[in-house]
Structure 1
Amino acid sequence: MTSSAVRTTTARENTTMSVPAARPSRRPSRRPSRRPSRRLRTLTASLALVLAGSLSGCSLLDEIGGPDAVEAEKPTAAATEAAYNSQFTRDGTFQSHVKIDGMDFVYTLWPTKSTPRTNEWYPKGNKFFSFTFQVYDLNQKLRDPFRTKRKAYLGNIKVTSRTITTEGGRTQHPYKLDAEAWRITFDPEAVKHPVHGMLITSPKGSFEIRNQKIGPVSDDTRGIELTFIADVHFESSPGSGRFIAEKVKQTVPIAIFESDTPTQVAKIPINAN
């Protein structure tokens, strides 16, 4: 409740009366009236109405926690997400750009149709996601001929995970991946280099893997961190045959919400995206 202070300023009027010089006299000062002015009465009445309305909205019982006190709401999904910030959870997708020597390496993750609502990812039950990894040569325009762009190849792709808990519980690792990219990518005929792996330069190449399962975790889990490490080789200049080796790393936070209900998993075709 808020209150307003009203400050009233009264102007003093000096009145000079002309009288004969030989008979000076002073008129007795008029005694101030104790009756409040109409304006003051109006302001007082308005303040009384405001005060009455405020008291009707919040009783003294509410102030001291009496029998009618309102119980505090339980933390919402938004509050949990705020405590563990996650672009993946908030937007329903995650994309990062790792720039190395004019090459833009792009990780993109999203939940699959089996568990599409990221604000309903709970500790119990499985949760599913897909992701892609590809690279753009920023030294060339997007529509330039492919032969003018530096080729990049992906060898091994590794993903580890760890849980973030509220009660200091044991760290778990509900998801892991460690494989040669060309063996597991969605494209069964990926373009390969004899030594460095599969082509990932856009638009001719891209690594993609679908319906990856994150397993159940402890009830006090409020977040999962996925860490991606890609072994890549890319040309120093188009068609040079000389390659630069790099490890492209990206960590992706995912929020997990408190619930006794397992994450609901819908049945989808094995090749659904």
Structure 2
Amino acid sequence: MRRLPVRRARRTAIGATLALVGVLSLSGCSQLVDAFNNMQGDTASVPANAGATVRPSATPTETMAFNSQFTYDGSVMMTSEIADDLELRLELWAVDSKRTQEWTPARDKTFGFAVNVYDRRVDDKAVLAEKRRVYISSIQIMSQTAQTSGQVQSPFQFSADPRTLVPTDTLRSERGLLLNTYQGGLLVPEQTIRQLPADTFGMTLEFAMTITVEGTANTDTSFQQQTVYQYVPIAIFQD
């Protein structure tokens, strides 16, 4: 490709620039500055933060005013080690609305929960005599609000003997409702949290479960009672 003489090249560049100025002068100074910046776009530049570590975008739980895995997923499972290789499981899930970002102070908020037990020493299909039995005799749920005013209230409360919440043919004794059976432990399909203070942005449910645990499988003299606590934070959004 034939190169233009230096003087001619300069005259061509100046003429193009003047023509551009003439056009842009009709549309304002700010566009003129942008045009000159664009003309220099072919020049390589190094970002000011080159070499810095780039953080990933914030997750929904990080940007949430009240951090809640239950709100993020619509459900949560929490476990408690009640003996060596013996695990109590509390599961909680949204029922109405299943879209937890619709959980606001004014509307009803319905959830379901289940309590089960898992003995890791034996196979799931093992007969009951080979498993360490676990009975639940009481379950209580208390609540505590988080409010922009700084006030704390307990608008939701629940207390029951689990034996009254399931069909009468479910295995039970004076120790309570038997959890580790094929019938599925304790299932409470619906509980409703009703109106909350208008400035509520979160609440925490505290579960207190009184259980009796068998120390050695098929040994009636080895039972001991304990109370297990679990806490479930729930975000509340404004209407």
TM-score by length of 1: 0.64
The answer for the alignment partner of 1:212 in structure 2 is 191
Question: Aligned-pair distance for 1:230?
Answer: 0.4
The answer for the alignment partner of 1:171 in structure 2 is 152
3-state DSSP of counterpart to 2:107? coil
Residue 84 of structure 1 aligns to which amino acid in structure 2? F
Structure 1 residues 201 and 79 mapped into 2: Cα distance closer, same or farther (>3 Å)?
Answer: closer
RMSD of aligned Cα (Å) = 2.9
The answer for the alignment partner of 2:91 in structure 1 is 108
**Quick check: 1:128–1:211 contact (8 Å CA) kept in 2?**
yes
**Quick check: 2:61–2:67 contact (8 Å CA) kept in 1?**
no
**Quick check: 2:170–2:183 contact (8 Å CA) kept in 1?**
no
Unaligned runs of 5+ in 2: 1-5, 18-33, 41-59
Equivalent residues, number: 194
Structure 1 residues 206 and 167 mapped into 2: Cα distance closer, same or farther (>3 Å)?
Answer: same
Identify, as 1 or 2, the structure richer in strand: 2
Question: Aligned-pair distance for 1:125?
Answer: 2.0
1:65-214 alignment, distance < 5 Å:
78=60, 82-101=64-83, 102-112=85-95, 114-168=96-150, 170-185=151-166, 187-193=167-173, 195-214=174-193
- Displaced runs of 4+ in structure 1, greater than 4 A? 78-81
Structure 1 residues 52 and 247 mapped into 2: Cα distance closer, same or farther (>3 Å)?
Answer: same
Distance in 1 of aligned mates of 2:154 and 2:194 = 9
Distance in 1 of aligned mates of 2:164 and 2:186 = 10
**Quick check: 1:136–1:202 contact (8 Å CA) kept in 2?**
no
Deviation per CA, 1:182-210, whole angstroms, max 9, x where unpaired? 1123x3422111x2101001434411112
Distance in 1 of aligned mates of 2:36 and 2:168 = 74
Question: Aligned-pair distance for 1:250?
Answer: 0.3
Question: Aligned-pair distance for 1:231?
Answer: 0.3
Residue 176 of structure 1 aligns to which amino acid in structure 2? Q
**Quick check: 1:191–1:205 contact (8 Å CA) kept in 2?**
no
The answer for the alignment partner of 1:243 in structure 2 is 223
Identify, as 1 or 2, the structure richer in helix: 2
**Quick check: 1:94–1:109 contact (8 Å CA) kept in 2?**
yes
Question: Aligned-pair distance for 1:126?
Answer: 1.4
Question: Aligned-pair distance for 1:141?
Answer: 2.1
Question: Aligned-pair distance for 1:81?
Answer: 6.0
Structure 1 residues 204 and 233 mapped into 2: Cα distance closer, same or farther (>3 Å)?
Answer: same
Question: Aligned-pair distance for 1:176?
Answer: 0.8
Distance in 1 of aligned mates of 2:63 and 2:190 = 23
Distance in 2 of aligned mates of 1:235 and 1:219 = 46
Question: Aligned-pair distance for 1:217?
Answer: 0.8
**Quick check: 1:127–1:215 contact (8 Å CA) kept in 2?**
yes
Question: Aligned-pair distance for 1:50?
Answer: 7.2
Unaligned runs of 5+ in 1: 1-33, 55-77, 260-273
Deviation per CA, 1:7-55, whole angstroms, max 9, x where unpaired? xxxxxxxxxxxxxxxxxxxxxxxxxxx97x99xx8xxx9xx8671489x
TM-score by length of 2: 0.72
